[in-house]
Structure 1
Amino acid sequence: MRRLSLIAMAVVALTTGCTMAPKYERPAPPVSASFPGEGVYATQPGAANAGARSANGVAAADIGWRDFFVDARLQRLIDIALANNRDLRVAMLNVQAAQAQYRVARAALLPSLSAQGRQSKQRTPRDLSVLNQTIQNSYTVGLNASWEIDLFGRVQSLKDQALAKYLATAYARKAAEIALVSQVATQYLQVLQADDLLAVTRQTLASASDSHRIVKLQFDTGTASELDVSQAQTVMEGAAANLQAQERSRAQAVNALVLLLGEPMPGDLPGGMPLDGQNLLTDIPAGLPSELLLRRPDIMEAEQNLLAANANIGAARAAFFPSISLTGSFGTLSPTLGGLFNPGSAAWSFAPTITLPIFTGGQNLANLDLANIQKKIEVAQYEKTIQSAFRDVVDGLAARGTFDQQIAALERDTTAQQRRLELSSLRYRQGVDSYLGVLTAQQDLYAVQQTLIAARTQRLASLVTLYQALGGGWIEKTGDEARAVDAS
């Protein structure tokens, strides 16, 4: 049955000139036809809030990163990273290497032509020589040509495979560039978070130091206990320790940002915006999951790898059939160097060759089985990439639907904790409560302030991730024509 099917494929190849690769059909996306819209996904922010910017229904892939990010300092940092990041540079060089490999495979479809000049000298035993000429010279100058007639599409399939690999590498580079934009923005937010945490910690340390000084004076005058002094010192020393840890975290966050930039932090950066003033676009439409197939470069990369595996099956099938090669040469041949171009010295040869595999120990069959298995692997990888993309988007939508309410609640909690600290301090000064109430209020206020800063950072980072997940970050400005994926 296998032999009959291979013969049938050979007839088709001869009559249509097509390759023997299977007809490609894109696998159906293994995800829901729409994104969730209930529960945490139901409340998505719009641009109704005062000062908020709107995407005006434009898809993420069509929004330039300069329009998504409004912080001039962040825009400059992204610009530097795109020009100097070493990982992105390697990705671009990989595209060039894959393009060269494709040109090599494509060149195999065309005849090869080469010029050749040759001298040969041969000695023959005297009793076997003619006219006692034991030394014979031969000079040849001419052109050699060879060409494999690709009747069964083997070379064409290899060319198609190389093209798909080249495009897959180009899409991988696009994905790397989009990811770099997101990474720089996220790391920049980490630096801003560290700045806000340092400001809160310095404020807490100053307040705790003042409280400790006052309680120490009260202890010296006999109006406060040693326990009050120890409690006040606890808050002060804790804030001092946190200050050093946060100084370290900020330095390391800057180091990570410098690594992404690919060069030292410039000294002429424009002024930046605080964490709560970034004002990112929050109402970018999610669209449909099927649109991710055209937006996400990692999905397109996976599909090109699938196409390459599909083409490889055609090459494996063609290996079962004869290969036909034409070789020939034309030039001049003479026993002397001076006679190479004399009349009558022309020489030529023509040698068509047909090679038919008869017994290869099962190698061709194993290669075909391997090619089919590799295609199944690429199908699974393609489907997994779609599922991962779907999850990235729904995670972003879940975050976008909950962070605003969470931050609003934390802001109210911060205000309440601030008022609580004021009242606790007043009651302590009036002798109504012990210093433990002040201590607890200070610690709770400091904790909720840190939680609020972290939530603000996570909200902005989730918006950046959603922008990336929807395919944003490839173009610089909204309205720009998108570059080709293999553009330098």
Structure 2
Amino acid sequence: MSAMRYVSCHASIGATAIMLAGGVGAPAGPTMPDVPVQGTYLSEAADLSLELEWWKQFGDPVLDSLIAQSLSANKSLDQAAANVRVAEAIASGARLDRSYSASTSFDGDVGRSAQPGQDVRASIQGALGASWEYDAFGRIEAQIAAAEFDVEAARQARRDVAVIVASETALNYVQLRGAQRRLAVARKNADTQSEGLDLLQTLLDNGRAARLDMERAEAQYRTTLASLPRYEAAIESAKSALAALTGQPANSRSSLVMELVTSADDIPEHRGAIMAGSVEDLVRRRPDIRSAEVVIARQLALGDAARADLFPTITVNANVLALFDDANDIGDLTSFGFGVGPSISWAWPDLRRVRANIDATDARTDAAIAQYEQTVLNALSEVESALSEYTNELKRRDDLKRAAASAQRAIELARLRFEEGLDDYLDVLEAQRTLLTAEDQLAESRLQSSSRAIAAYRALGGIEMPNQYGTEPAIALE
């Protein structure tokens, strides 16, 4: 039996007993919603095996190392982990309400009466008290359940941060590699254009080329050079973001950062297909949905606690007292006293405030239910969009691969025809421009396809790390 069911059952049993005895009725509260969803995300998606460490599907050891470091050193994750410890400590305190509470007090004074001939006297008074509440109507258990759901909510919040940190690390790494690749493409084309300029200059000096061709080639070369700083800035921006995500200063040069600086590896690409499977199974992997579930469960538990206030609170108290007016009284049993007995308190003469609190709690539960339903709808939309964008980007990438291959063949033919005197250099310039555009668009599409894959994993819940990020659902929809 889940904590929520236990709270509801426990409170309802006690409430039934009092209603039979005294005619006090507890209003019915909200219930867990049932959100209907379709069976799959995309009809063309056949299967999905969501890896616990999805980033390893890219086959890039540097990416694996960066994400491992970010999950262990990110400061936002440290903050989220501290919030879990806070919630756990509060829940531990709430569970202590099941047992007795005790307190002691001591008071002493030394004085003498104002009457003549009186001696200085000392008196000591001590007391030891204990009390225990009999949870007849489930109020304490409901409050404990609410505190435990707060712990689960904190764990889901930490898991949500882990999803964000892992995906942001992967995205920035892919953007870094994409910028490096586009920079390499631009530099290669700039070198080719520079060689063409030298050739044109030689031909121009020999009267075999026109000044117009020279100026066009110069303009194209300078335009290509002008794109280089943009890519260099993107590289530095991605490095700074990765440093922050891995818990390092932006100017840090750790071994991983140095590896990024000294190498320009290709853009990592996702291996295999990303397919969605069942909405019921996969959307609820998302921490935001599970957190929204926990919020409803917490509010239901608080509703049980509020309804328990309609009924009496039964407490058993015990006290031991001691009063010594003289040192000789210490050990004298006549100086000791004790008392044991029950205490019953009830707001029955004025239950309006209790019912108002119940109404407020139920309204907050209704708000949590609405938030949960909207969260599910948003998740469905995000997953549909992410998978669709990834699928379409793969198609675009395949077309751009063929376009780049054709552009490479075109420039080879244009140079050959120019060298044979069949065409002027304008055709070579046009072929160079087409090749640069095709190769740059291909690099950008490869970057986007990897980014779309990361976004899809993030939309699907992104990360499951047992015993670290809370893998067991707090409650179950039926």
Q: What TM-score, normalized by structure 1, do the two folds share? A: 0.81
Alpha-carbon offset, residue 258 of structure 1: 0.9
Match status 1:457 vs 2:463: no
1:308 aligns to 2:295 (yes or no): no
Q: How many angstroms apart in 2 are the aligned matches of 1:73 and 1:21?
A: 59
CA distance 1:265–1:21, shift in 2 (3 Å): farther
The one of 244, 247, 266 aligned to 1:259: 244
Whether the 8 Å contact between 2:139 and 2:308 is mirrored in structure 1 is yes
Of residues 396, 404, 408, the one that matches 1:406 is 396
- Which residue pairs with 2:3 in the alignment? none
Q: After TM superposition, list the pairs within 5 Å mapping 1:365-380 onto structure 2.
A: 365-380=355-370
SS of the aligned residue for 1:151 comes to coil
Would you say the 8 A contact 1:68–1:280 is kept in 2? Answer: yes
CA contact (8 A) 2:143 2:301 kept: yes
- Say if 2:269 and 2:446, in contact at 8 Å, map to a contact too: no
Q: Residues 413, 21 of structure 1: CA spacing in aligned structure 2 closer, same or farther, 3 A cutoff?
A: farther
Compared with structure 1, are the counterparts of its residues 290 and 174 closer, same or farther at alpha carbon in structure 2 (3 Å cutoff)? same
Counterpart AA for 1:173: R
Question: 391-400 vs 81-90, which deviates more?
Answer: 391-400
Equivalent residue number for residue 135 of structure 2: 150
* Paired residue type of 1:12: T
Change (3 A) 1:112 1:288: same
Q: Which of 234, 247, 250 is the matching residue for 2:235?
A: 250
- Structure 1 regions of 5+ residues with no counterpart? 1-6, 45-56, 476-481
State the partner residue of 1:95: 84
Q: CA deviation at 1:96?
A: 0.5
Q: CA deviation at 1:251?
A: 0.8
Residue from 12, 16, 19 that aligns with 2:16 = 12
- Other-structure match for 1:470: 460
Q: Distance in 2 between matches of 1:63 and 1:438?
A: 50
Query: What one-letter code is carried by the residue in structure 2 that aligns with 1:29?
Result: V
Change in 2 beyond 3 A, CA 1:245/1:387: same
Match of 2:312 among 303, 313, 322: 322
Task: Tell me which residue corresponds to 1:344.
Answer: 334
CA contact (8 A) 1:22 1:313 kept: no
Counterparts of 1:68-467 in structure 2, within 5 Å, are 68-120=57-109, 138-263=123-248, 264-267=252-255, 274-275=265-266, 278=268, 280-292=270-282, 294-350=284-340, 352-357=342-347, 363-467=353-457
| Contact kept in structure 2, 1:328 and 1:348, CA below 8 Å | yes
| C-alpha spacing 1:14/1:266, structure 2 compared with 1 (3 Å) | farther
Indicate how the Cα distance of structure 1 residues 267 and 34 shifts in structure 2: closer, same or farther if over 3 A, else same: closer
Whether contact under 8 Å (1:309, 1:375) holds in the other structure is yes
3-state SS, counterpart of residue 380 of structure 2? helix
CA distance, structure 2, for counterparts of residue 417 and residue 293 of structure 1: 43
> Counterparts of 2:369 and 2:58 in 1: how far apart (Å)?
36
CA distance in 2, matches of 1:311, 1:386: 22
Deviation of the 1:303 alpha carbon:
0.6
CA shift, 1:219, in A, is 3.3
Contact 1:114 1:145 in 2 (8 A): yes
Change beyond 3 A, Cα 1:337–1:172: farther
- Distance in 1, Cα, partners of 2:453 & 2:218: 41
Distance 2:327 2:346 in 1: 41
Note if contact 1:91-1:176 (Cα within 8 Å) is conserved in structure 2.
yes
Structure 2 SS opposite 1:344? helix
Letter in 2 for 1:406: R
Q: Distance in 1 between matches of 2:291 and 2:328?
A: 60
Q: Distance in 2 between matches of 1:483 and 1:456?
A: 35
1:31 maps to 2:43 = no
1:465 Cα deviation after fit: 2.7
SS of the residue corresponding to residue 333 of structure 2 reads coil
Residue 333 of structure 1, CA deviation: 2.0
2:134–2:316 Cα contact (<8 Å) kept: yes
Q: 1:50 is matched with which residue?
A: none
Distance 1:124 1:431, change over 3 A: farther
Deviation at 1:387, TM superposition (A): 2.0
- CA shift, 1:395, in A, is 2.5
Whether the aligned pair in 1 keeps the contact of 2:283 and 2:380 (CA below 8 Å) is no
The Cα shift of 1:351 comes to 6.0
In structure 1, C-alpha distance between the alignment counterparts of 2:136 and 2:434, rounded to whole Å: 79
- 1 CA distance for matches of 2:111 and 2:309? 40
8 Å contact from structure 1 (residues 123, 136) kept in 2: yes
Matches of 2:27 and 2:191 in 1, distance apart?
74
**Alignment partners' CA distance in 1, 2:45 and 2:333:** 92
Instruction: Indicate if the aligned counterparts of 1:182 and 1:473 stay in contact, CA closer than 8 A.
Output: no
> What secondary structure does 1:307 align onto?
helix
Q: How many residues align?
A: 450
Pick closer, same or farther for the CA change 1:219–1:360 going to 2, 3 Å.
farther
Residues 24, 360 of structure 1: alpha-carbon distance in 2 compared, 3 angstrom cutoff: closer
How many angstroms apart in 2 are the aligned matches of 1:21 and 1:358? 15
In structure 2, give the amino acid aligned to 1:445: L
SS of residue matched to 1:401: helix
**Cα 1:398/1:144, change in 2 over 3 Å:** same
The answer to whether the Cα contact below 8 Å between 2:283 and 2:461 also exists between their aligned partners in 1 is: no
Give me the whole-angstrom Cα distance separating, in 1, the residues matched to 2:113 and 2:49.
82
User: Do the aligned partners of 2:122 and 2:326 also contact (CA within 8 Å) in 1?
Assistant: yes
